[in-house]
Structures are given as structure tokens and as C-alpha cells.
Structure 1
Amino acid sequence: MRELGVDAAVDRTTGDLGEALREVCPDGIDVYFDNVGGAVLDAALGNMALFGRVAVCGC
């Protein structure tokens, strides 16, 4: 994560994605860029911060 300059990473293929997002973003997600939809979008929307922003690409 240091090499990429990110605070946290979540593997969407293991465990409960919504719970994993809550653990790394306890105050909610401020900005989410979506290009896939489905379960990943659902998990992100369930963890958005108040007044968080979602950019949707390719729908």
C-alpha cells in the first residue's frame, strides 16, 4: 500500500465486502467512482458518508 500511496485495500472476492469497507472507512466513504455496478456498488452505497459523492461511469 505504501508503494501505491493508498490508505487501505479491500479484496472484493473474500468475505463480506460491506463489512470490510466499514472496517477501513469507519466514518463512511466520501467519494466512490463506479464502473462495474453490482455487488461492489451495493456495498459502497451501503457505506457512504453523509453527503458522500458517487461518480458513475458507463451505465
Structure 2
Amino acid sequence: MLAAGAMLTGGKRIGARQLWGGRPAAYMRDLTDAALVDMQRGVQHYVLNGQAHKAAVLGTTEG
């Protein structure tokens, strides 16, 4: 995974379950199972917020 705002330069490859960040991007750490679960929860939270915002803008009760 590449952190927000990071810049991956040529020749670098991000491995499975790795977190890279910075400018230029550098390896930071491996992602644990718990970190991946927390990220998935965060993604679901943003999906639900987006659906609620869409419904509010359109004046509907659908997501």
C-alpha cells in the first residue's frame, strides 16, 4: 500500500502487505492482519458516509 501523498519513484516495487510512504516513498512496515481489518472498517465507513451524502443531496432515502 502506498500512503497518501507518497511518491513512488522508478524501479521500486511494493510487496504484498507492505506500507510505503514519503517523498520519495520508502518502505515503512509490513501490514498486520489487524491493520488490514481496521482499514476495511474505515473503507466501509466512507462508503456509508458517501451514500448518506448522496441521499441528502438528492433528497432520497436510498444510498
Q: Please, what TM-score do these two structures have when normalized by structure 2?
A: 0.24
> Which structure's relative contact order is higher, taking Cα pairs within 8 Å and 6+ residues apart?
1
Higher helix share: 2
**Bigger-Rg structure (1/2):** 2
Higher strand share: 1
